[in-house]
Amino acid sequence: MTGAFSVYSTAWLSLALWAAGEWRRRRPLENARGRALFTAALVVMVAHSALAFGVMHGWSHAEALLHAARRTQEVTGTAAPRGFYANHAFLAFWTIEAAVWWWRSDAYRRRPAVLVWLSRAVFAFMFVNGAVVFVDSPLRFLGAAALASVAIAWARPRRLREPEQP
């Protein structure tokens, strides 16, 4: 993979894996697959972040902050590098979510609905920004479609039992 292509393709792959994981976690027997997809999406997003930092910014925090400020200025009209820090916070949050799901799976699945929806809000906010708002091309429609798919998964009632096998 070439530099920029590897940066962008890992971001889209992470979104696809996360979306698939959100659909899988709806069923008790699929929960382990959902967790594996959720974790794989995290690993790919960490790779994306490392690639972006190295390929796009030459491992320079100053360059990464300047780039974040420029992109935010282009999109929102305000030059602010907060997105750079938000990405790091998001990766930390996602890592904690994955770790708790692996180490305390039953507690993670039984957590209060407010925590479930708070987590979903964080993921939705970050992916909407990364796959829709800050995307310059028609790919934003692909991002919107992936996020709409996840919203449908979240809106559908969770299956408590698997259907009977014939």
> When comparing pLDDT for 3 and 164, which is higher?
3
- 155 exposed, middle or buried (CB, 10 Å; 0-12, 13-18, 19+)? exposed
**Whose CA is closest to 97, among 124, 113, 116?**
116
Amino acid present at 66: L
What per-residue confidence (pLDDT) applies to 159? Answer: 62
What per-residue confidence (pLDDT) applies to 164? Answer: 47
In a domain, 50, yes or no: yes
Q: pLDDT, tens digit, for every residue of 93-138?
A: 999 999 999 999 989 989 999 999 999 999 999 999 999 999 988 8
Judge whether residue 161 has pLDDT over 80.
no
Q: What is the mean pLDDT of residues 132-160?
A: 89
In a domain, 165, yes or no: no
Domain that holds residue 50: 3-155
Q: Per the structure, how many domains does the chain have? A: 1
In a domain, 52, yes or no: yes
CA distances from 77 to 54, 70, 95, 130, 137 (A): 27, 9, 32, 17, 19
> When comparing pLDDT for 111 and 159, which is higher?
111
Opening angle at CA 10, ends 145 and 52, nearest 5: 120
In a domain, 23, yes or no: yes
**Whose CA is closest to 23, among 163, 161, 162, 159?**
159
In a domain, 160, yes or no: no
115 vs 159: CA distance, rounded Å: 20
Q: Token pair of 133, please?
A: 């708002």
Q: pLDDT, tens digit, for every residue of 35-89?
A: 999 999 999 999 999 999 999 999 999 999 999 999 999 998 988 888 889 999 9
In a domain, 119, yes or no: yes
In a domain, 164, yes or no: no
In a domain, 162, yes or no: no
What per-residue confidence (pLDDT) applies to 109? Answer: 87
